[in-house]
Copies of this chain bind each other. A is one copy, B any other.
Amino acid sequence: MGDRFLKIRENSEQLCKPLMIEDYSLQASEFVSPPKWHLAHSTWFWEEFVLTKYVENYVLYNEDFHFLYNSYYNNVGKRVLRPARGLMSRPTVAEVYKYRKYVTAAVIAFLNTNPKKEILDIIEIGINHEEQHQELLVYDIKYILGNQPTFPVYQDSFKTKVISHAAGFIKIDAGLYQIGHQGNGFCFDNELESHKVYVNDFEISNTLVTNQEYLDFILAGGYGNFNFWHDDGWSWINSNKIEAPLYWYKIESEWWNYTLNGLEKVVLDLPVMHISFYEAFAYSEWKGCRLPTEFEWEIASDKFQWGQLWEWTNSAYLAYPGFSKSPGALGEYNGKFMINQMILRGASVATPEGHSRKTYRNFFPPDMRWQFGGLRLVK
């Protein structure tokens, strides 16, 4: 486990390699966190949930950091409020890297003492937690750079691929299916308990909707016809003047989009990304189709390729039957967010390797677009 732990720690830092020091502290929107904060918070997690709990006489790197880098764990005491994360130029980037080094070494030393199974389970959560922040790091870096007037380049990575196989629909028979995580492997509490769900017959697309298809919706006036939209969605596009996916810019009648490689022309064959649930829903209405439920998605997932983009479903984020929160602060991980959010299934090109499985339940409010998300239709 030590090697895996080291690799994960190393990966977080690799993601920040292309950044300038100036990029680390910016908070470009309330829902975005500065890269420095991610590096520090994923370190705080280890200190808070492993080192201070299980290592005798562990000396905190710096008492202030306990307060500064808590994210949303009310059980762990006071914390810097989310919108203020971008006001901290100190501690400096160099200091945060030192903090990481100190804590990484301490965890490794602790792992060498052969901790027992239940502690290894928490280590496993810590690894998955840091992996989640790696994906958020990519989203946040893109948002920070992509909202600057000069559109700086990050690097030529995390690219989606053109869907090359023929589009078609896969038929699934009605019946009772087993949903949720089974077996001994790691999963989050929200994937449990595994339970039966009855679904009707349905047909699901074997491809994601492409930029070309989505552009057809734009050109057909999709953003101007309320019949395709939820009432909330219609308010949202109108009060925010939204007319295309996030990062799309129309320059002299051509569509460009910001990618991690800078501003580029929209590649029509690629799957459309950076759309909200409202937009995914409106597109499906316009197309005379619908979005899958998360159950339909999970049932059919062995029969199509997935993993380029998270896929919006028409399921709200709710507890499975028998769901129970962990005791203590880790119980705040998932349960308290089960309201006003929609489920996305799959994974994206920004998801760390080995972090995905077909029972994984990702979730975002219906107006969020900066995540790497797209859509697949059902009829």
Chain A contact residues, CB within 8 Å of chain B: 20-26, 28, 36, 64, 67-68, 72, 74-75, 80, 86-93, 144-145, 147-150, 152, 176, 195-200, 226-227, 229-234, 277-278, 281, 290, 314-316, 318-319, 321-322, 331-332, 336-340, 342, 366
Contact residue among B145, B197, B340 (Cβ-Cβ distance under 8 Å from A232): B340
In the bound complex, what is the Cα–Cα distance between A144 and B86 (angstroms)?
11
B22 touches A93 (CB 8 A): yes
28 contacts between A and B (CB under 8 A): A20-B89, A20-B90, A21-B92, A22-B89, A22-B90, A22-B92, A23-B90, A26-B89, A64-B150, A68-B149, A75-B226, A87-B144, A88-B149, A88-B150, A90-B152, A196-B200, A197-B198, A198-B198, A199-B321, A200-B322, A230-B336, A231-B336, A277-B339, A278-B339, A314-B318, A315-B318, A316-B318, A340-B340
CB within 8 Å for A20 and B92 given contacts A149-B67, A315-B318, A338-B230 = yes
In the bound complex, what is the Cα–Cα distance between A87 and B34 (angstroms)?
11
So how many copies of this chain end up in the complex? 4
B336 touches A229 (CB 8 A): yes
In the bound complex, what is the Cα–Cα distance between A25 and B35 (angstroms)?
14
Contacts of A234 in B (CB 8 A): 74, 336
Q: How far is the CB of A368 from chain B (nearest CB, A)?
A: 13
A232 touches B149 (CB 8 A): no
A75 touches B318 (CB 8 A): no
Q: How far is the CB of A33 from chain B (nearest CB, A)?
A: 14
